[in-house]
Amino acid sequence: MKGIIIAGGLGTRLRPLTYQRPKPLVPVANRPFLEYQVALLRKHGITDIVFATNYMAEQIEGHFGNGSRFGVKMQYAVEHEPLGTGGAIRNAAQLIPNSPVVVFNGDVLMDFDLREIVAFHQERHASATITLTEVPSPNPFGVLYLTPSGEVERWEEPTEELKKRLSLDRDIVPTGKDYINAGCYILERSCIDRIPVDTKVSIERDTYPQMIAARAGVYGYSAKGYWIDLGHAEQLLYATQAVLSGAVHTAAAGMSVGEGTTIAPTTWINGLTAIGKQCRIAGESRLENCIVMDNVTVGSNVRLYGIIVDENVVIEDEVVITGRGGGNSVPVIAAGSVLTRGTRLQL
């Protein structure tokens, strides 16, 4: 069994954090996000991995190299034009022929037991197994319905109207539970070979529906454990807090404070805040539920709550920034910004 990680997206929902780095390298608890996925694959004995890359592909390859530093063998399938999830899988699979694969979407943090999912897949002689996670309904995700044996009999995507309503009102009262695609697949070559070469294809919207209609061995497995989609700044903040609190059992350890950072003894920082490398934080400040990335300077008597601060930001004395901590309203201070003394923002 070998691994493919789809890591070529533009990360538009995480802008401005993805203007200078690809989404899979956005740090979660001071570790590029992709490192958690690589560590999870390695933990379960999958050490031959292909990254399917496109946007800022050179940064991903520059960070991971041949993979030896992470205890794996790494290859790169670069798309000159985005090929969609299915096309990316097909392109990457050409580097590891004749092998079934575990596929990760490059934007989900999880701690599922991959051996259990693979065992389920093999017991049913499946062509494709889609890992599922349970979420409250209504939700903006595609919902899967299974037969008693676990075969997928129906996949329903939400309407654009529902997606819009949910994005505007995140406090809708749940009406039940749904099984959704968790972005982790076990695929046999019989599934991969259905995807045309060098063609833009969505495995979720094109390949799987065709296979489900043909009863071609698509199964769903409801996994237990932590799962989050890192789509928005809000989810990035939640994922960081999950790593720091131990709510997600990662195979790679996160760090609350990076190397070379100095923090004045009179400053208070709570345990769900991550601070990057080479930061300087002056006295009498208070940081709560924040992400502060590398090379950030924070002055004295500063108050930061529920925000994300990108690299090389200067926050002068007596600045107060408060995020509401809900919906998609987590404030992001773009890289290189300067917030002058006394600035007040409540977002």
Average pLDDT, whole number, for the chain? 90
Give domain limits for the chain.
Answer: 2-245, 262-346
72-116 tens-digit pLDDT: 999 999 988 888 999 999 999 999 988 899 999 888 999 999 999
Which H or E run includes 90?
helix 84-93
Q: Can you identify the CATH homologous superfamily of domain 2-245?
A: Spore Coat Polysaccharide Biosynthesis Protein SpsA; Chain A (3.90.550.10)
Per-residue pLDDT band for 169 (boundaries 50, 70, 90) equals low
The tokens for 252 are 């790679």
Q: Percent of the chain, pLDDT > 90? A: 67
Angle at 337 between CA 331 and CA 342, to 5 degrees: 75
The whole-angstrom separation of Cα 292 and Cα 274 is 6
* Contact residues for 342 (Cβ-Cβ < 8 A; gap 6+): 316, 317, 318, 319
Asked if the model's pLDDT at residue 236 lies above 80, the reply is yes
Instruction: Name the residue with higher pLDDT: 138 or 50.
Output: 50
The whole-angstrom separation of Cα 272 and Cα 256 is 8
- Count of all residues that appear for the chain in the document: 347
What is residue 42's predicted lDDT score, i.e. its pLDDT?
A: 95
Give how far the C-alpha of residue 75 lies from the chain's centroid of Cα atoms, to the nearest Å: 20
pTM of the model: 0.89
Q: Give yes or no for a contact between 132 and 151, defined as CB atoms under 8 angstroms apart.
A: no
Q: Which of 25-29, 132-136, 267-271 has the lowest mean pLDDT?
A: 132-136
